[in-house]
Amino acid sequence: MKFVGIDLGTTNSSLAHSDGSEIQDLDIFQLVSEDTVLASKWLPSFLYLLHENEFVNYPEDSLVCGLGFCGALARKKLGSESHRVVHSAKSWIGLGSQSSDSEILPFSEMATKKVSAVMAQAAYLKYLRQAYTRQCGPLPSQVILTIPASFGDVSRSLTIKASRLAGFESVLLLEEPLAAFYNWQHYHSIRELPKSVLVIDIGGGTTDFSLLCLKDNRYSREAVGRHLLLGGDNLDLFLALKVESEFGFKLSPSEFSEILSQCRDYKEVLLGDCEFQETLKFTLTGRGSSLFQKARVLTINALSLKSALMEGFFPLIQEFNLDRPAGSDLGIRQFGLPYEKNPAITEHLRLFLKSHAPRLCKDGPEAVLFHGGSLFSLEIQSRLLECMALWFPKAPLVLKNPDMRLGVSHGACIYALARQGQAQLIDAGLAQSCFVGIELKDKSQSLLCVAHSSQKESQRESPDLVLQLRSQKTVQFPLYRLDLEDARVGTIVPHQGELPVSIVETRITNQDSVVPVRLESELMPTGELRLILKNQRQDEKYCLDFAILQDMQKIRQNQFPFLKSMFEVLNPVYGKGGEIVSPKQIRGLIRELQNVSTMSKDKWPVLLCRKLALWLVEEQRAKRRSEIHEQMYYSLLGFCSRPGFGFVQDQELIPRIETGFTTFVKSPQNRIEYWILIRRIAGGLSPRFQCSLFESYGWYVTGCKQGLKLPGIPPNDQEKKEMIRAFVSMEWLETKDRLLLFEKLFRQLKSKTLPESDLWMLQRLCTRNPYYADPNRVLPYSCALELLEFLSEQSGIVASHTRLARELLSRRGHRDYDFNESDRSRFTQRFGLSLIENEPGESEDSYGFGEGLPLGLRLPNHAQ
């Protein structure tokens, strides 16, 4: 039987394969220059996007997915053509947000072609798959793909999605620190195994800590650190920012990329084991077409840069139990990624061990296994060991893998062997603790830990609490996964805006409206977490299964017992055959749906809305039965489909919605309802559709050169208002077209003809952080600046002005789009704001996560 193990790294990827005995590394042939192809054991995780007529005569196996080429040459191109090179895709996957699957990379305003992080990961995987099949034949059924231990459920799902796009029928995921340890176990045989092993994995984009313990001669993974977006990329950025400050002026995007590329190479000089250089030269090539353009050269003392790196990222921390202030923020949030604010990796290690060592290894871990590209440096290893020697009675034994670069792909193969009984498996359960939302005595929402990190499959845990279970009404049970290293079953923490990974919505049937219950949790072999609610008054229990390793939308529970009745309400109006219904009945459709569901439409969960929308799309021909049929259809479908993105089914739902103009072109109300529908689902409409619609009909609202005429009657004033609202919501419009909309609305604002309720449109146009489009569509800095200047000069700043200013001034982590510090500080004072950090990757809108339903569990004798 054959096995394949893949290390899909932030900086480098590799593939190992085995026939059950020897493990071999795949030779990955790749472009290293424009006319040279060489083989390597690893593939740099960089993707160069081709432009038209480039590399047209190159062999197909040098290119991938019709996008471009990946590997060594792509990495080299990053220094000179950064706007064409995708990198750090794995870090975007780690965000587990909307941006992870949006076409925003390369994250540069100069980029003309973009892909998503998922597409980039799929390109690397497809290149590896093709390289394997050319040399070894068809892929085996056992393919193991490694991921950071701290990856959340969404990030894991996106990784699976990338593998499917790359042509892998199925893959198994394995945590990278475990893979590294499998590799060590396989190649080393020592008489006395260490009772506890700390795995430190510092790669290009993430830092992972895992603690393994030996029980009954078998290792189990007992603890995993929280997700830290902190690794070699941060060191590169820190160096580049240091060099920029030495130049004494802000570098352009291309100049910064040029310096960043040099910093990647010099980092190896500073921290590697090669001969140390006393000075480092950084060069900015001349700009312009003249042959006499001079390059600018800056010489920096290498020792000062090395010291800054070590003190910033690996400071020597002597006190283990003493709480320390947060490390200084080095400002290394670049390319839109929300990198960890505190860069001190030794401090993160201290917090991890402080949380878990007293329970698992009170004298500290007996051994440590280093892994990841950043830990090639013996100096960094020595600093980590020096810290642990200060914290515990003695420093841990260092375990060594034969080749740190290939240890994870090898370990993935060994894991496949272990699954076949040819090696010893490591017990590994949950990576993060699971919490369920509960209501406290003071009506506030808190989170109760129901399953701790490292809980094993089939292991049951129960908090020592009696809770009140609401029955006789539809309630929700939201499940959260948090990186709280000291959480135990029964721990209660405040809810601070976290989003659930899974929700079960159901109605518990009992004669009492409140039932006292005890909870018991069990991790099922299927990957689900089962919560068992045991009635304390009688022999009765209720089971809830949470799909924690699947997308939130794939919950198998029957959440909506009233859904069938809602379809029965819709069927006479829009169902096949249809009945003769009066206009009054159609106008009362939403009211009747609210009655059947026993909740107002504003409280319908997003999953319920999408189920209704899918039903309506199946019957969309029925909207043509009359004007009132179409009006209500547009209204209900738009409400149930908003905002058109952010839900898995949206990628299938929105393209199926007929977006052609209203059938009843002479009815002003039907025309208005059409534009409201378009506004509500704009986020899911394709860039081509958005641009085509504006090109055809945008002239009605901008007053520019006439385009196509809308069918039927000319639009009245109310229709034009809805048209401009729809166009403003289309973030994929060309910048020149969004500028026309801005100029139109800004003129209205200055002439006091723009209602305050429509000020959101200027905010949406000028935002530095689009909801769903890529940053290329951001309006020029001057527009946002001009808008804030005008508002700040008005007598009496109102709340809507403050909200707009707060949105525009919030930092998003990209030097090319954020307000500069001078303007930001000035407007912060003018609008009376506090300096804020609004990191990308945080949710802009909590709509759609079941907030309308009451929580199913209450703890009456506990107040926050």
Which residues have a Cβ under 8 Å from the Cβ of 689 and sit 6 or more positions away? 659
Bond prior to 106 in cis (omega within 30° of 0): yes
Rounded to two decimals, the pTM is: 0.71
Euclidean distance between CA atoms 323 and 350, whole angstroms: 10
What is the mean pLDDT of the segment spanning 712-724?
96
Residue 508 has what DSSP assignment? Answer: -
| Domain at 433-558+854-859: CATH code | 2.60.34
User: Of 840 and 241, which is predicted with more confidence?
Assistant: 241
Q: For all residues of the chain together, what is the average pLDDT?
A: 85
What the block records as the tokens of 369 is: 């296994």
Amino acid at 376: F
pLDDT at 528: 65
Q: How many angstroms separate the CA atoms of 338 and 52, rounded?
A: 33
Check: CB of residue 507 under 8 Å from CB of residue 856.
Answer: no
Buried b (16+ CB within 10 A) or exposed e, 51-71: eeeeeeeeeeebbbbebbbbb
The single residue listed with the structure tokens 């199925």 is 170
In this structure, are residues 437 and 480 in contact, taking their beta carbons and an 8 Å threshold? yes
Residue with tokens 């394969």: 17
- Quickly state the pLDDT bin for 839 (edges 50, 70, 90): very low
Identify the pLDDT of residue 412: 95
Using the Cα atoms of residue 811, residue 813, residue 819 and residue 821 in order, give the sign of their dihedral.
Answer: positive
State how far the Cα of 3 lies from the Cα of 420, in Å rounded to an integer. Answer: 11
- Where residue 364 falls (left for φ over 0; alpha for ψ -120 to 50; beta otherwise) is left
CA distances from 603 to 115, 134, 729, 849 (A): 35, 55, 24, 10
* SS3 label, residue 258: helix
Q: What is the structure's pLDDT at 191? A: 75
- 328 pLDDT exceeds 60? no
Burial label, 722 (beta-carbon count in 10 A; 0-12, 13-18, 19+): buried
Rounded CA-CA distance 62/58 in Å is 7
**753: Cβ–Cβ under 8 A, 6 or more apart, which residues?**
none
Q: What is the pLDDT of residues 747-789, one digit of tens each?
A: 999 999 999 889 999 999 999 888 888 777 889 889 999 999 9
Is the confidence at residue 506, as pLDDT, over 90?
no
Q: How confident is the model at residue 552 (pLDDT cuts 50, 70, 90)?
A: very low
Per DSSP, the three-state class of 43 is: strand
Tell me the mean pLDDT in the region 414-433.
83
The DSSP-derived string for 77-118 is HTTT-GGGEE--HHHHHHH-SGGGGSS-BS--TT-SS-B-HH
Do the beta carbons of residue 835 and residue 828 sit within 8 Å? yes
- 846 vs 35, which has greater pLDDT? 35
CA distance 729 to 733: 9
Q: What is the mean pLDDT of the segment spanning 617-629?
A: 94
Strand 23-25, strand 196-202: pairing: unpaired
Least confident of 44-48, 191-195, 344-348: 191-195
Q: Which two tokens stand for residue 413?
A: 């193969």
Beta strands in 178-306 (DSSP E): 196-202, 207-215, 218-224, 279-284, 296-301
Name the residue with tokens 């704009």. Answer: 682
Cα angle 109, 115, 121 (rounded to 5 degrees) comes to 130
pLDDT of residue 847: 28
Average pLDDT over residues 539-544: 85
Cβ neighbours of 834 (radius 10 Å)? 6
Q: Which range is least confidently modeled, 11-20, 128-137, 245-254, 391-400?
A: 245-254
CA gap 625, 621 in Å, rounded = 8
Query: Residue 535 in 3-state DSSP?
Result: strand
Q: Does pLDDT of 348 surpass 90?
A: yes
Mean pLDDT of 416-431: 82
Instruction: Return the top range by mean pLDDT from 98-102, 281-285, 516-520, 721-725.
Output: 721-725
Name the token pair of 720: 């034009």
What pLDDT shows up at residue 838? 43
Can you give 303-357 as a three-state secondary structure string? HHHHHHHHHHHCCCCCCCCCCCCCCCCCCCCCCCCCCCCCCCHHHHHHHHHHHHH
Whether CATH 3.30.420.40 fits 3-179: yes
Place of tokens 């303007």: 823
Amino acid at 4: V
Statement: residue 4 has pLDDT above 50: yes
Which percentage of the chain shows pLDDT scores above 90? 43
Terminal CA-CA length for the chain: 56
The DSSP secondary-structure symbol of 619 reads: T
- Lowest mean pLDDT segment, chosen from 55-59, 247-251, 354-358, 463-467: 55-59
> Would you state the structure tokens that stand for residue 302, as one six-digit string?
């290498």
With CA atoms as reference, report the closest residue to 263 among 308, 294, 229: 308
In order of 144, 171, 440, 816, the CA distances from 253 in angstroms are 38, 38, 51, 7
Percent of the chain with pLDDT over 70: 87
The contacts of residue 383 (CB under 8 Å, 6+ apart) are 310, 314, 316, 346
CA 802-805-808 angle, to 5 degrees, is 150
Angle, to 10 degrees, between the axis of helix 253-271 and the axis of helix 232-247?
120
According to DSSP, residue 30 is labeled: E
**Average pLDDT of the segment spanning 515-536:** 81
Give per-residue pLDDT as tens, 385-398: 999 999 999 989 99
Q: What is the pLDDT of residues 235-291, one digit of tens each?
A: 988 899 899 888 888 888 778 888 888 888 888 888 876 677 888 888 887 554 444
- 294, pLDDT greater than 70: no
Q: Using one digit for the tens of pLDDT, what is the confidence trace for 786-822?
A: 999 999 998 777 888 988 998 888 766 666 677 887 8
| Helix or strand (DSSP H, E) at 126 | helix 117-136
pLDDT of residue 625: 94
Q: SS3 of 152, please?
A: coil
Residue type, 666: K
Of 30, 35, 44, the C-alpha closest to 131 is 30
**pLDDT tens column, 461-486:** 888 899 999 887 778 888 888 867 67
Distance of CA 622 to the CA centre of its chain: 39
Contact 24, 18 (CB under 8 A): yes
User: Could you tell me which residues come within 8 angstroms of residue 799 by beta carbon, excluding any fewer than 6 positions away?
Assistant: none
> Which pLDDT does position 500 carry in this prediction?
73
Q: How far apart are CA 615 and CA 116, in angstroms?
A: 30
The least confident of 151-160, 193-202, 609-618 is 151-160
Q: Which is higher by pLDDT, 425 or 846?
A: 425
Q: pLDDT tens, 655-679?
A: 889 889 999 999 999 999 999 999 9
Secondary structure (H, E, C), 311-326:
HHHCCCCCCCCCCCCC
- Alpha carbon 441 to its chain centroid, in Å, reads 34
Give the model's pLDDT for residue 373. 86
Taking Cα atoms as reference points, which of 678, 802, 662, 788 lies closest to residue 730? 678
Residue 604, helix vs strand vs coil: coil
206 vs 198: CA distance, rounded Å: 16
- The token pair at 391 is 């914290």
Look at residue 753 in the predicted model and tell me its pLDDT: 92
How many helices, marked H, and strands, marked E, lie in the chain?
26, 30
DSSP string, 577-601: S-----HHHHHTHHHHHHHHHTS-G
Q: Taking residues 827-839, what's their average pLDDT?
A: 69
Write down the residue that tokens 């990957």 correspond to.
Answer: 527
